Amino acid sequence: MGAFWRFGAVVAIVTVLAATTGTTAASSSAAYFPLGQGTIWTYRTNSHGDIIMKVGPPAKVGTYGCRIIETVVGGNTTQRECYGVESDGVYAYERSYPAGTMRLEPPQRVLAIPIAVGQAWEWTGRIGDQEVTLKYTWARREKIQVPAGSFDAMQLYFEGLIPPNTQVQTWRWFAPGVGMVKEDSLVSQANQRVRVYAELVSIKIAR
């Protein structure tokens, strides 16, 4: 994830149950974002070959408890993010790259509940030295095919402007008991447009 603010980055990859709505466990943000230590997702991309994301040990960022997710490309760890599940969704608190670490102020809500078509929210905060506003919407439910199989998924759409003139649009699909199964991002700047996508190849869920 994100994924969730890098992943070919453009946007970070981030992460599972989209079969029902309401307040049941099936509709909780925790179900959409499995954080069991040892969980591993492998994605095939059009920009970096295969990307591996794995859940590591618990950590703390200030007063927030969270779980580390590492992104590995070509055997090298390129990103570490700390995510936590709160009553109203999943939050990213900190992201680390080889060049340094940045705290997300305020914490970035990357998934929100209720997980229902039409649910929308915003996040305004700093990513590095830039202030960014991202607008999110749970857009639709649909069946999607990726190398790992066919999934009934919920599509999340979000967009934002990175100053001074970079527009980012991202579509992510989340599937029951799996997490994010696909990401498709479009980055536009002046007359240039770059598409970056990733599809799930395999997953190992740790309990």
Which of 14-28, 62-76, 89-103, 159-173 has the least mean pLDDT?
A: 14-28
Which two three-digit tokens encode residue 65? 């408890």
Q: Contact 146/182 with Cβ under 8 angstroms?
A: yes
Helices and strands per DSSP (H, E), number in the chain: 2, 12
pLDDT for residue 25 is more than 90: no
- pLDDT band at residue 28, thresholds of 50, 70 and 90? low
- pLDDT band at residue 139, thresholds of 50, 70 and 90? very high
Nearest Cα neighbor of 200 from 24, 40, 58 is: 40
- pLDDT band at residue 1, thresholds of 50, 70 and 90? very low
pLDDT for residue 68 is more than 90: yes
Q: Identify the H or E element spanning 71.
A: strand 64-73
- Cα(186)–Cα(73) distance, integer angstroms: 21
Q: Which amino acid is located at 155 in the chain?
A: Q
Q: Contact 51/7 with Cβ under 8 angstroms?
A: yes
User: What mean pLDDT do residues 53-76 have?
Assistant: 95
Long-range contacts of 80-86 (CB under 8 A, 24+ apart): 81/1, 81/2, 81/3, 81/4, 81/12, 81/14, 83/14, 83/33, 83/35, 83/110, 85/29, 85/30, 85/33, 85/35, 86/29
Q: Which amino acid is located at 196 in the chain?
A: V
Question: What's the mean pLDDT when you consider all of the chain?
Answer: 84
User: What mean pLDDT do residues 181-206 have?
Assistant: 93
What is the share, in percent, of the chain residues with pLDDT greater than 90?
64
pLDDT for residue 7 is more than 50: no
Which of 44-48, 108-112, 193-197 has the least mean pLDDT?
A: 44-48
pLDDT at 113: 85
Q: Contact 43/37 with Cβ under 8 angstroms?
A: no
- pLDDT band at residue 32, thresholds of 50, 70 and 90? confident
Which two three-digit tokens encode residue 66? 């969270």
Peptide bond into 106 cis (omega under 30): yes
Give one DSSP letter per residue of 92-113, joined into a string: EEEEEETTEEEEEEEEEEEEES
Which two three-digit tokens encode residue 146? 């990726």
pTM score, two decimals? 0.84
pLDDT at 22: 31
pLDDT at 153: 94
pLDDT at 26: 34
Count Cβ atoms below 10 Å from residue 16 Cβ, excluding itself.
Answer: 24
- Cα(31)–Cα(9) distance, integer angstroms: 25
Q: How many residues in the chain? A: 207
Computed on alpha carbons and rounded to an integer, the radius of gyration of the chain in Å comes to 16
pLDDT tens digit string along 163-173?
888 899 999 99
Q: Which domains does the chain have, with CATH numbers?
A: 7-204 (2.40.360)
pLDDT at 30: 63
